[in-house]
Chain A
């Protein structure tokens, strides 16, 4: 009984010592942040405070207006999400809707544009392009 309590005490003491060392190492890594990162944090903080005060218009987001091939790629991507949802028993409509929302944001649009470019590149490779050049290998 007393040995059990002693073990618990030792374990807790060990946990506390571990957490103290982890915290000290973490603090050291924060202190070691370079000047450029500090400067970026400072600029980011100022931008956030200005935007919050209404001195600057809302930032970061813009309306998503797909065009041409990107819209087609997006449609296929959404179909893929729905297909994946049907394949995975745990997927709920709410999850699929959330995934769809993610695909509609600005960063995803950039990714879809890249996919469109690569698809075009692939089709050029398949047809040999229209420059008459030959494929080797």
Chain B
């Protein structure tokens, strides 16, 4: 075998191994995203109160994770994915606030930046305070209570409770210290319990 042929054989084998490794990595990433996407969507949906917007945010987070962090250890993906998603949610709120100000300036919006037409609309289910607190209604009440929390407390509560991240993972996802996560989470739980009352449980 000539030197050139030998060299080609080696590079082909190495290329094949790299190709196989890449394929395996893509499959692992696909599996990871498939397992996390439903929970991620619901978390984003609670944060922005709109399913279409939440779908866009989740897809964008998937794309960024796949582009920038696919070669990271699989155990790092969850906090990294949620860090990207939380950044997306924060940007979304910021964009909404800026556009709201422009609309108000041009006399096409409401001066209250917190005004939310979805929230202001009558409850389509026609629930009353006396209505039976079934699981769906309990979840709706929980979502409303979560939205009333400061943003950092929302993030800490949802990442810890809904996604099951530990303190360190939540800290990575939020870009804060472990101690900060504990404080935000503890305040969130107490505020939610106070707001929802004992009957909720």
Residue numbers of A with Cβ under 8 A of B are 14-15, 17-19, 21-23, 25-26, 28-30, 33, 37-38, 40-42, 44-45, 47-49, 51-53, 60, 76-77, 80-81, 84, 98-99, 102-103, 105, 107-108, 111-112, 115, 118-119
Residue numbers of B with Cβ under 8 A of A are 26, 29-30, 33-34, 37-39, 41-42, 51, 55, 58-60, 62-63, 66-67, 70, 94-95, 98-99, 101-103, 105-106, 108, 135-136, 138-139, 142, 160-162, 164, 186, 189-190, 192-193, 201
A-B contact pairs, 18 of them (CB 8 A): A18-B201, A22-B161, A40-B55, A44-B55, A44-B59, A45-B30, A47-B63, A48-B59, A52-B63, A52-B67, A81-B102, A103-B98, A107-B95, A108-B102, A111-B102, A111-B103, A115-B106, A118-B106
Given A25-B138, A25-B142, also A15-B193 (CB < 8 A): yes
At the interface, is chain A mostly helix, strand, loop or mixed?
helix
Interface centre among A41, A60, A77, A105, by most B CB within 10 Å? Answer: A41
Interface centre among B33, B51, B103, by most A CB within 10 Å? Answer: B33
- List chain B residues, Cβ under 8 A from A19: 160-161, 189
CA–CA, A66 and B190, complex, Å: 49
Contact A14 B193 (CB under 8 A): yes
Q: Which chain B residue shows the least CB distance to A122?
A: B107
- Other-chain contact of B102, A30, A44, A80 (Cβ < 8 Å): A80
CA–CA, A99 and B96, complex, Å: 10
Q: Which chain A residue shows the least CB distance to B105?
A: A80
Given A26-B162, A37-B41, also A49-B30 (CB < 8 A): yes
Interface centre among A17, A22, A102, by most B CB within 10 Å? Answer: A22
Contact A111 B67 (CB under 8 A): no
Given A19-B161, A25-B135, A30-B38, also A44-B62 (CB < 8 A): yes
- Other-chain contact of A37, B51, B106, B108 (Cβ < 8 Å): B51
Contact A22 B99 (CB under 8 A): no
- Other-chain contact of B94, A17, A76, A98, A112 (Cβ < 8 Å): A98
- In the complex, what's the smallest C-beta–C-beta distance from A8 to chain B, in angstroms? 12
- Other-chain contact of B161, A23, A45, A52 (Cβ < 8 Å): A23
